[in-house]
């Protein structure tokens, strides 16, 4: 009985071993695709690690994949984030503006009308010389600070760079530069009035510059806030709007100066031409050259 069972086990083992091997006389090219795939799958070792083509493709193109460590964050450098420094500066300017309007609302209206009225300009100039110099001085300081903030934002936008640490020293630099420029301009006007027989028109024109700048400071204040707290195309729109306002103010001021000096232009054309070239045209050409060189670099 034991021999019979042993023989049966040996016969079954041999039969299973023969079935596990491929048939050498089988014509596989005459089989269908599914049968050939099934036979090929049966011939493989289920524990064999096969390197497929997909793994080769992944290994081949993996080095050229995007490395997340090398991805740089792209930022719009023409957008200046609203710093806390400017917020407090704007709050202080708002307090000053409230004080100026409450102290002399009629003076503000007279200043606006005096830009285009000779008699009112002379009257305001006399009032300033007598006892009311402080409002005009404060309005001029208000313009200096706002013009400095605008230069801070414009240079930031134009050069595409930010100032380290958002230090208040840069705002002081730009505001002091604007104040120094107009201080030199008023001194030159005073010197021209003393040297040449143009004291009265030069003095009136110098006061007209004060009136135009006071109004320009009032315009710059809300536009600076808009440029600080906006970005993209909206910020560019406000920036170009300020440039347009500055150009219009400059042209109106030149026309106003020509109107004031028209009676003296016929008598002293050479003196007037020298002043026009040295004081009005030369600074504009210098600024234009500086901006052109900055754009080329």
Q: Find the angle CA(36)-CA(40)-CA(43) to the nearest 5 degrees.
A: 140
pTM over 0.75: no
Residue 289 has a pLDDT of 75
* CB hemisphere CA count around 45 (13 angstroms): 4
H/E stretch holding 220: helix 199-228
Helix 199-228 and helix 232-265, axial crossing angle in degrees, nearest 10: 180
3-state secondary structure 21-68: CCCCCCCHHHCCHHHHHHHHHHHCCCCCCCCCHHHHHHHHHCCCCCCH
Residue 24 has a pLDDT of 55
pLDDT by position in tens, the chain (length 297):
555 555 565 555 555 555 555 555 555 555 555 555 555 555 555 555 555 544 444 444 444 444 544 444 444 444 444 457 788 889 999 999 998 888 777 788 888 888 888 888 888 888 877 766 678 888 999 999 999 999 888 887 776 655 544 566 788 889 999 999 999 889 988 888 888 777 888 888 889 999 999 999 999 999 999 988 888 888 889 999 999 999 999 889 888 888 887 777 777 777 777 777 777 777 777 777 766 665 555
Place of tokens 């106003």: 256
CA distance 186 to 196: 15
Residue 275 has a pLDDT of 72
Residue 109 has a pLDDT of 83
Residue 45 has a pLDDT of 56
Q: Give how far Cα 154 sits from Cα of 120, 160, 222, 224, Å.
A: 35, 10, 15, 10
Q: Token pair of 116, please?
A: 């285009």
Buried b (16+ CB within 10 A) or exposed e, 70-79: eeeeeeeebe
């Amino acid at each position: 009985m034991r021999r019979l069972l042993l023989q049966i086990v040996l016969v079954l083992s041999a039969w299973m071993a023969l079935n596990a091997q491929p048939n050498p006389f089988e014509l596989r090219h005459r089989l269908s695709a599914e049968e050939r795939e099934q036979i090929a799958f049966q011939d493989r070792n289920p524990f064999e690690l096969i390197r497929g083509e997909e793994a080769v493709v992944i290994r081949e193109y993996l080095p050229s994949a995007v490395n997340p460590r090398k991805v740089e964050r792209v930022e719009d450098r023409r957008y200046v984030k609203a710093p806390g420094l400017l917020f407090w500066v704007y709050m202080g300017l708002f307090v000053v503006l409230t004080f100026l309007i409450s102290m002399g609302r009629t003076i503000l209206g007279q200043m606006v009308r005096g830009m285009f009225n000779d008699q009112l300009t002379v009257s305001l100039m006399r009032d300033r010389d007598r006892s009311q110099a402080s409002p005009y001085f404060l309005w001029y300081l208000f313009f200096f600070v706002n013009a400095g903030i605008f230069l801070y934002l414009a240079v930031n936008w134009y050069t595409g760079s930010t100032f380290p640490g958002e230090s208040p020293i840069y705002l002081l630099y730009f505001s002091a530069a604007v104040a120094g420029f107009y201080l030199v301009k008023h001194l030159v006007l005073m010197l021209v009035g003393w040297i040449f027989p143009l004291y009265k028109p030069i003095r009136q024109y110098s006061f007209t510059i004060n009136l135009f700048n006071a109004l320009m400071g009032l315009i710059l204040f809300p536009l600076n806030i808009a440029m600080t707290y906006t970005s993209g195309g909206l910020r560019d729109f406000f920036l170009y709007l300020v440039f347009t306002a500055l150009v219009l103010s400059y042209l109106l001021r030149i026309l106003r100066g020509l109107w004031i000096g028209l009676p003296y232009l016929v008598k002293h054309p050479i003196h007037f031409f020298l002043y026009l070239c040295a004081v009005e045209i030369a600074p504009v050409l210098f600024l234009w050259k500086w901006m052109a060189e900055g754009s080329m670099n």
